[in-house]
Amino acid sequence: MSTLLLGLNIDHVATLRQARGGSQPDPLEAARIAEANGVSGITVHLRKDRRHIQDRDVYGLRKFVRCLNLEMANHPEIVEIALDVRPDEVCMVPENRQELTTEGGLDVAGHRSELARTVERLTAAGIRVSMFIEPDPRQLDASREIGAPVVELHTGAYANAAAEGSVAQLLERIRTAAEYGHSIGLQINAGHGLDRWNLAGILTVPWLHTLNIGHSIIGRAVMIGLGPALEEILAPMGTYGAKA
Ligand code: PXP
């Protein structure tokens, strides 16, 4: 049985804080509780519009978090911040001002040269770079070609379909992408829209290294507390490898 790691996205703790403009609830406190309860990495998305996570959060987390994963668009201002903060990992994502959350994967194949330059700069700074992509072999090939060692497969379509009960084809697409990505030497992460109901299908996908989950855990934590909400996800994750 292999170990599957959990990265907790704490953006929505900051969303709640920003609703009142004060200091509570504090994303740094959420990160501390998460690390004490079995989370391997803390993920934040520093968006151009700063709608939830602020620059001070990223710098504050960097001081103590064991593995900080910064989600970011390939935007010059944010790239400079990443080079200054030096998170352990960066996940490059597409970003659209109107969206409620990250919609769709990054078109790495269509933006090779701009992305390759950023991957090179971040890698030279000692940051491990991941591409958030659709489970599509073309995007996997492009990610490898521009020098990214990691991809995060977008599970949003699967998660939406799981809610409607029509998942087999979408799960197969993720499985095929994980197999192919692993065969060309990429580390395979996955995330978006995952929760305690649709997790079981994802646990049948081979070669997964890390799952990044945010909204469902933070939403559940409002009801039962962050430690128990994490345990609901970490307990089934502990069986990974038995099914994949
Ligand atoms: N991975 C990436 C790259 C994301 O952009 C997000 C959403 O911020 C997540 C994972 C987590 O998605 P969710 O909040 O739906 O669990």
CA distance 118 to 114: 7
Q: Is the pLDDT of residue 242 over 70?
A: no
CA distance 132 to 95: 11
**Two tokens at 39?**
């989370």
Q: Is 22 helix (H, G, I), strand (E, B) or coil?
A: coil
What is the model's pLDDT at position 221? 98
pLDDT band at residue 241 using 50, 70 and 90 as cut-offs: confident
What is the model's pLDDT at position 100? 72
- Nearest Cα neighbor of 244 from 203, 215, 213 is 203
Q: Does residue 102 line the site of ligand 1, with CB under 6 A?
A: yes
Nearest CA to ligand 1 atom 9: 192
| Residues designated as active site | 45, 71, 192
Q: Is 75 exposed, middle or buried (0-12, 13-18, 19+ CB in 10 A)?
A: middle
Q: Is the pLDDT of residue 1 over 60?
A: no
What is the model's pLDDT at position 210? 98
Q: Does residue 71 line the site of ligand 1, with CB under 6 A?
A: yes
What is the model's pLDDT at position 26? 98
Q: Does residue 93 line the site of ligand 1, with CB under 6 A?
A: yes
| % pLDDT > 70, the chain | 95
pLDDT band at residue 79 using 50, 70 and 90 as cut-offs: very high
54-64 per-position pLDDT tens digit: 999 999 999 99
Q: What are phi and psi of 195, to 5 degrees?
A: -150, -175
Arithmetic mean of pLDDT, 41-46: 98
Arithmetic mean of pLDDT, 225-233: 98
CA distance 102 to 94: 7
CB 132 within 8 A of CB 102: yes
Global pTM reads 0.96
Strand partners, 7: 41, 212
172-183 per-position pLDDT tens digit: 999 999 999 999
175-223 per-position pLDDT tens digit: 999 999 999 999 999 999 999 999 999 999 999 999 999 999 999 999 9
Q: Which residue among 101, 106, 108 has the greatest number of ligand 1 atoms within 8 angstroms of its CB, and so is best to mutate?
A: 101
What is the model's pLDDT at position 143? 98
Nearest CA to ligand 1 atom 6: 192
CA distance 95 to 85: 20
Q: Is the pLDDT of residue 35 over 90?
A: yes
130-161 per-position pLDDT tens digit: 999 999 999 999 999 999 999 999 999 999 99
Q: Is 12 helix (H, G, I), strand (E, B) or coil?
A: helix
What is the model's pLDDT at position 157? 95
What is the model's pLDDT at position 103? 74
Q: Does residue 7 line the site of ligand 1, with CB under 6 A?
A: no
